[in-house]
Structure 1
């Protein structure tokens, strides 16, 4: 008891207990006070933890869908002290992000991203800085070849290197993460103007750091920091994450330095050069949004998001065709019928490859790669009869749209028929929203679509993918994805058998 009393008398402990009591008092006062406005319904929050006891921290999206069955498509959750409005199902999500796109356009201040980006960059910035940086980035991407034939040439060139790398295993097992190298290199071509050799030390370092950052972003301890940032002194995950991010920044700064030295006025070769040129153009202005912190933050956002999403989707695609070999054979037969012998598939071929196109879309629907990215209201507003004050955090659940039983016949099954009509022709579905909706939709959507189609068809043209020896299709695990910032497949092995 004496030791415990001594512990309680420590100044740090006293300050922490006082702070905790203040939060409890504030919480109880606000929780019991009747709101002057009609808020969405939701479960009763508990002191301190709110509704966290109702959530599976590793799969918040699935917990949210269960709660929606009781409280409806628009409801309120309490993440600790933070009130959050959740939107589920295609109709509610579309109404918010498309019909009320300006009202739901902002991002909330999420503690870890505030620590990383300090309000800069493309994804978690708001206001004029976000609008200007996004507009400039979209323009730069088009100028550099995204959405044009040049982009396809990059991908086909990289496909050759990827195929040679897969071939080097000579049919022996290799990790699914081997596929990450090619989509990552496409992002680096766009950002830095040149691809990396797969054995380049800088390339391998970046792959490792991206992996470690993404894993840490999915850590329960990182979620705890976001829910209770005042506990940061006692937590460690966010500190390790910030160290990893700084290592990535060091590489970005080095590439920016090389870009400045290489620029000679004969055209821009990369997004980094475009940013530097814009910064130099604004040099004489009193204020510019293209300062070094925003440049580095924007490149960092694209390094992380531009590599992880497409690379992970490609892993899932190969895993799923290993799981369902009949589907793989049908894709390969369609490739044989459409693609000229001795040629790589082209992006234009997708218009004639209805089943293959349906498979790629179904992969993206089935895996629900990015369950949600929070928004917040930019003004006081009414939504579906509820009042949402300015700054209200909103979670539009993309998982609930991609698994919405009103729009998908078998939402929890991998079924390419979701995207085929009675004649076997590919059909678009309005509830297919892996790239989100509205003004905050994915900027790299056209690039990601081209990468997925060309890499997937090119690989299945050259190889048949099978489980490693001793593993059956039934053993391949689809049900428990590895929770990082995205939902990755569990680490598994594949074998690639060359095709004639």
Structure 2
């Protein structure tokens, strides 16, 4: 499909410009950017999965956003823990887990409707989106009894794309706006580099190599504000001995990414927002193996390149259009995350002041 490759840039660019237009409607007045950000990132996943974006006022799209948002919050709640511990009991009790099931069913139902539309249109003959490519693969493997390609799995994959692909990048972008507003010196330095280097209004993900300071800022946002409470569970494929401990085959492992991302042995000021963590003395960008925001090894995040591309294109377009400022009377936005499976910032308001050069 070209996810994370140049062919995806057009769709991401379109959504980022839509977000610029939504922010511009606020005319520099204080507003909460959370919902517009989530809408835009979710529409990128819509374009990948279904081949088109939803109008923001579309009823189905609003239900989709509500489902993703609620399930993400439920995943880190007390009721989620109770359900995992006592599923037999919770099935008989009225609690938020029932609403979470409803949200999941809604998204799976939407996915199945879209799959049916694609089948009727026979669009997989000239594939343009995830459903088309998956249907084509089902067709290729229809005589293979060992194939796991089927419509149920496809619907579940689309469900996972929305939950994994929306919440993470949206959370990082919410933190980006907040941190840039809180640190105007860093914001101004990144903007100056972007304007000095990107002479044209058109740019590509490859231009990130020419922007060492901006690249450092993007990495530092994702290091400083890792979007999850902990890394995703993995399972040992064989017995493992580590530091005198035996971890048996089949054991579930939950990695603590912050133990590395905030380790004072590897970062000069781990609990501060400091882009210099990724720069050498000459201002060149330095990639660090301790940067584990996307995991590591063979089971690292499948969507890493897509997420990196989205984050870069959205931030650059927003910075070129606006200077983010604190609302009048506000000295600093809260940099403590909300508690949950994902760790977005607490609700906040910011001023997106249009730049004179953006016309």
Alignment of 1:408-419 (within 5 A): 408-419=267-278
Residues in 1 aligned to 2:253 and 2:17: alpha-carbon distance in whole angstroms: 43
Q: Is the aligned partner of 1:194 residue 2:65?
A: no
Please tell me whether the aligned partners of residues 124 and 136 of structure 2 are also in contact (alpha carbons under 8 angstroms). no
User: In the alignment, what sits opposite 1:141?
Assistant: none
Matched, 1:152 2:2: no
Matched with 1:482 is: 338
Aligned partner of residue 214 in structure 1, secondary structure:
helix
Q: Is 2:249 aligned against 1:390? A: yes
Residues 307-326 of structure 1 aligned to structure 2 (within 5 Å)? 307-326=166-185
Which residue of the partner structure matches residue 27 of structure 2? Answer: 170
1:469 to 328, 331, 334: 328
Cα distance 1:225–1:265, how it changes in 2: closer, same or farther (>3 A)? Answer: closer
Call closer, same or farther: CA 1:330–1:377 in 2, change over 3 Å. same
- In 2, the alpha carbon distance for the partners of 1:483 and 1:186 equals 26
Where in structure 1 are there 5+ consecutive unaligned residues?
A: 1-143
Tell me which residue corresponds to 2:39.
181
**1:289-323: per-residue Cα shift (whole Å, max 9, x none)?**
11232111111111110111111101100100001
Q: 1:268 to 1:188 in 2, by over 3 A?
A: same
The 8 Å contact of residues 125 and 136 in structure 2, kept in 1 or not, is answered as no
State the Cα distance separating 1:283 from its structure 2 match: 2.6
Is 1:492 aligned to residue 358 of structure 2?
A: no
Tell me, in whole angstroms, the C-alpha distance in 1 between the residues paired with 2:123 and 2:40. 29
Correspondent of 2:212 among 354, 361, 364: 354
Count of matched residue positions in the alignment of Structure 1 and Structure 2: 353
TM-score (norm 2): 0.93
1:230 offset after TM fit, Å? 4.2
> What is aligned with 1:406?
265
Q: Does residue 97 of structure 2 align to residue 238 of structure 1?
A: yes
Distance 1:408 1:442 in 2: 23
Look up the match of 1:422: 281
Measured at CA, do residues 317 and 278 of structure 1 come closer, stay the same or move farther in structure 2, by a change above 3 Å?
same
Which deviates the most, 389-398 or 210-219?
A: 389-398
The answer as to whether partners of 1:478 and 1:489 remain within 8 angstroms in 2 is: yes
Residues 338 and 312 from structure 1, CA distance in 2 versus in 1: closer, same or farther, beyond 3 angstroms?
Answer: same
Residue number in structure 2 paired with 1:377 = 236
Alpha-carbon offset, residue 351 of structure 1? 1.4
Secondary structure of the residue that 1:387 maps to in structure 2? strand
Partner of 2:139: 280
Q: Which residue of 2 is the match for residue 214 of structure 1?
A: 72
Distance 2:33 2:272 in 1: 22
Shift of 1:171: 1.6
Report how far residue 388 of structure 1 moved.
1.8
Equivalent pair of 1:156/1:344 in contact (CA under 8 Å): no
Counterpart-to-counterpart distance in 2, 1:419 and 1:336 = 21
CA distance 1:233–1:193, change in 2 (3 Å): closer
Q: Is the 1:345–1:457 Cα contact (8 Å) retained in structure 2? A: no
C-alpha displacement at 1:465, in angstroms?
A: 1.0
- Cα deviation for residue 234 of structure 1 reads 5.5
Offset of residue 231 of structure 1: 3.5
**Aligned-partner SS, 1:464:** strand
Q: Deviations over 1:164-209 (max 9, x none)?
A: 1111121222212122222221111111111222222222221111
Normalising by structure 1, what TM-score? 0.68
